[in-house]
Amino acid sequence: MLTARPISFKLKLTLLMLGITLALGISISYIVYMSNVKTLEMQITKGLEDTALKTMDAVDMVLYERSLDIRLIASDPIIRTRNSTSKTITERLIEYRNLYKIYISLSFFDVNLTRIADTSMMHLGKKNKSSQWTEDALRNGVVSSASDIRFVEELNAAIIYFASPVKDKDGNVFGVVVARMPIGKLYDVVNKAVGIHGEDTEIDLINRGGLLLYSNYNRKGILKERLAMWEDIKKFMMNKRVGNIKGYFNIHKELKEKNIFVFTDEAGYQDFKGNGWKLIMHIPTTKAFAPAVELRDRVIAVSLPIIIFSVFIVLFFANSVVKPIIQLRDAAAEVGRGNLGIELKTKSRDEIGELTDSFNKMSKSLQETTVSRDYVNNIVKSMAETLIVLGLDGAIKTVNRSALKLLEYREEELVGKPIDMIFTAEEKLFKENDLNNLIKIDSVRDTEKIYVAKNGREIPVLFSASILCDYNGMPQGIVCVAQDITELKSANERLQKFSNELQRSNKELEQFAYIASHDLQEPLRKIKAFGERLNAKISNMLDTQSRDYLDRMQNAAERMEGLINGLLTFSRITTRAQLFVSVDLKKVVHDVISDLEVRLEQTHGSIELDTIPVIDADPLQMRQLFQNLLGNALKFHKKDEPPVVKVYSKPLKEASDMVFSDSKFCQIIVEDNGIGFDEKYLDRIFGVFQRLHSRSEYEGTGIGLAVCRKIVERHGGAITAKSSVGQGAMFIVALPVKQKGGNL
């Protein structure tokens, strides 16, 4: 009977490598081509999406800047007053037009839509027709930003309208300012996207109804036509900021080829919410995938000679692999017979050579196993922490020198004994977690326990235990590590005692300040009352010097009363604090401005209030905080310049000098144009009874900013300031938006 000759390993390896080479060559060629097509599509789509987003954001930024312009013009003092003449308003509008240069004309209409003033001096006295901007500005009382776009025959241009209601000092709308900007200013922004992706890229800018506001291929349809297939496209855009339609989509019926199609929806910019415009970009697929087609042809041309060359490489490789494998087989047999000193010569630096080196190292390592075990044992015995190794029955198998020293046992007194002998009855290791539970949870980390030394001394330790497993994951024992924390516990107890004493001392100081300032009120009232009676009764009988003494006494009593009231206010921040509730800071500031109305009239000053948030706070203390900050801003003003105070919020991440970076904090800024101060006195101004100016220059007790700081710190925030002499001051308050609840 004939027996088939077995196929050699060399032939098997050769056939295997040839098959792998052919399969890999074909697969790689296909994958390279397909992935290149997919990657190219993703890159083009992502590039179009990024460009669409940036372009739409740039459009929104232009519209936002124009809305700021029109608000600024509408708030101009000359335009806001009802007493300005048509000529005066026209001259002011011409100044703004010359300043911005982007507008064709600026106009002022009264509430009846009669044109009162116009920079072009046209149509004065004529009544304007109702439009979208009249609806926004006059009926709804809001800024109309690009909601009205139309072609103006007399200007032969498409115009974007911006309008803002004009309100008098009582907040009543009595007119509207209108600015006209050529839509070409937006085209300049959109055209940049074409420059980025080439002339083959087509762009449409449409309003929420699908009307073309811009198109780089359908100029005649601008402001006249709706985008083709608008209703179908709108479904893909629903509830999306930016995206693309899967696959390819014929956007326009007249296009004969498929296109990569992306869109972006208007998101607005800052407080400008946008008008629902959309930007659509697309590029023909034949243009997009031209590089991929070229790559496919190159891959086919290069793959064939590479495969032929690979056959020869495989034959050479198979021969070079088989020979060292045979040598390793023979050497392994020698090791199996006990010849541990065998060493093979390495002839190559590839994986086979590394395998040979590993074999040599293994052979040498087997000879050094006993030395390595001793080395590990020495490390364990030298550990500073106590180390105890248990068997699965809870008996001690190994204990290091640190554990013996701490527990004052000899090694033979512990080895073989149950671990519970070094614990108190209440601290037994397996009392709450038996061995099976410990195996399930794998480890116990940083648990405080009590060791019991040989002499009965109890030692607090930070205890950890974990299961010791073999290579197959089977439990072999328990490793216990502990650290003596006697000194740490003693230090913590001293620290807690000190903290309690400090809290008690602070409460006593606050109570003392309140009682002292309150009890001082009564004798001070008597001094003032009797001083006034004395002044009324005998002032005519006193000489000039005596009357001066009496006046000084009265002034000192009034200053003393102010200091005591300030001290009383300072102490009540915590002693009479209220619970935190939701507080609308904008309403609080409005109330404070109302209280400061007389001072505003006396100084001819103004307070500008922007949007500020709603937070959790003590409402009375928030009012007190802003009363002090705004009052100081009005008090420390320049003698030759009316005070102007601005109150606004700002993203906290932009304030590099604040220590907070968490988005749960808000930042409120009170900025004025007053006398300012040198920042080297920054720490001083927040101290109690600290002043930078004499009482003859500016009234006050010097406690207002100390009260502000204490209020802010009670709310878990921080307060600081920026200023320079003669350049005004900026007070920056950072407060948590949400509190944990209750009093702090």
**Residues 6 or more apart in contact with residue 81 via CB below 8 angstroms:** 168
Confidence of residue 522 (pLDDT cuts 50, 70, 90): low
**Residues 6 or more apart in contact with residue 179 via CB below 8 angstroms:** 66, 69, 70, 73, 103, 105, 106, 161, 162, 163
H helix count then E strand count, the chain: 21, 22
* The predicted structure's pLDDT at residue 370: 46
Residue-wise pLDDT for 724-735, tens only, equals 888 889 999 999
Spatial contact of 116 and 127, defined as CB atoms under 8 Å apart: no
Distance separating alpha carbons of residues 428 and 449, to the nearest angstrom: 9
Give SS3 for 325.
Answer: helix
**Torsion, CA 611, CA 613, CA 619, CA 625, rounded to 10:** -60
Give SS3 for 542.
Answer: coil
> Could you please report the per-residue DSSP string of 164-217?
EEEE-TTS-EEEEEEEEEETHHHHHHHHHHHHHH-TT-EEEEE-TT-BEEEESS
**How deeply is 109 buried, as exposed, middle or buried, from its count of CB atoms within 10 A (0-12, 13-18, 19+)?**
buried
Closest CA to 206 of 156, 252, 249: 252
* The predicted structure's pLDDT at residue 77: 92
Kindly tell me if the per-residue pLDDT of 376 is higher than 70: no
112-119 average pLDDT score: 93
Residue-wise pLDDT for 617-651, tens only, equals 888 888 888 988 898 888 888 888 899 999 999 87
Q: According to DSSP H, which parts of 86-159 are helical?
A: 86-100, 132-134
- Give the CA radius of gyration of the chain: 43
Instruction: Tally the C-alpha atoms within 13 A of residue 507's C-alpha that lie toward its C-beta.
Output: 6
Kindly tell me if the per-residue pLDDT of 661 is higher than 50: no
User: Which strands, in side-by-side order, build the sheet including 105-110?
Assistant: 115-118, 105-110, 173-182, 157-167, 144-152
Kindly tell me if the per-residue pLDDT of 433 is higher than 60: no
Amino acid letter, 146: A
The helix or strand, by DSSP H or E, that contains position 671, with its residue range, turns out to be: strand 665-672
* Of 331 and 221, more confident: 221
18-26 average pLDDT score: 70
Residue-wise pLDDT for 435-461, tens only, equals 566 666 667 777 788 888 888 888 888
Spatial contact of 181 and 160, defined as CB atoms under 8 Å apart: yes
Kindly tell me if the per-residue pLDDT of 336 is higher than 80: no
Locate 731 and state its tokens: 């007070």
Confidence of residue 356 (pLDDT cuts 50, 70, 90): confident
Confidence of residue 556 (pLDDT cuts 50, 70, 90): low
For 151, 180, 184, the CA distances from 159, given in Å and listed in that order, are: 6, 6, 9
Closest CA to 414 of 450, 377, 388: 388
54-73 average pLDDT score: 90
252-271 average pLDDT score: 71
Distance separating alpha carbons of residues 204 and 282, to the nearest angstrom: 9
Confidence of residue 89 (pLDDT cuts 50, 70, 90): very high
**Residues 6 or more apart in contact with residue 499 via CB below 8 angstroms:** none
Confidence of residue 282 (pLDDT cuts 50, 70, 90): confident
Spatial contact of 438 and 408, defined as CB atoms under 8 Å apart: no
Confidence of residue 560 (pLDDT cuts 50, 70, 90): low
HEC assignment per residue over 486-533: HHHHHHHHHHHHHHHHHHHHHHHHHHHHHHHHHHCHHHHHHHHHHHHH
- The distance of Cα 556 from the centroid of its chain, to the nearest Å, equals 52
Distance separating alpha carbons of residues 43 and 29, to the nearest angstrom: 21
Residue-wise pLDDT for 576-616, tens only, equals 556 788 899 999 899 888 888 888 888 889 999 998 989 99
Query: Could you tell me the pTM of the whole model?
Result: 0.40
Spatial contact of 637 and 614, defined as CB atoms under 8 Å apart: no
Residue-wise pLDDT for 206-259, tens only, equals 888 888 888 888 888 888 888 776 777 777 776 666 666 554 444 444 445 677
Distance separating alpha carbons of residues 354 and 366, to the nearest angstrom: 18
Confidence of residue 32 (pLDDT cuts 50, 70, 90): low
Q: According to DSSP H, which parts of 337-368 are helical?
A: 351-367
Residue-wise pLDDT for 127-144, tens only, equals 988 888 999 898 888 999
341-354 average pLDDT score: 68
Residue showing tokens 């002034």: 555
* The predicted structure's pLDDT at residue 301: 72
Residue showing tokens 């070094």: 422
The domains found in the chain, sorted by start residue, are 38-302 (3.30.450.20), 371-484 (3.30.450.20), 494-575 (1.10.287), 581-736 (3.30.565.10)
* The predicted structure's pLDDT at residue 249: 43
CA torsion sign for 229, 235, 236, 242 is positive
The helix or strand, by DSSP H or E, that contains position 74, with its residue range, turns out to be: helix 9-74
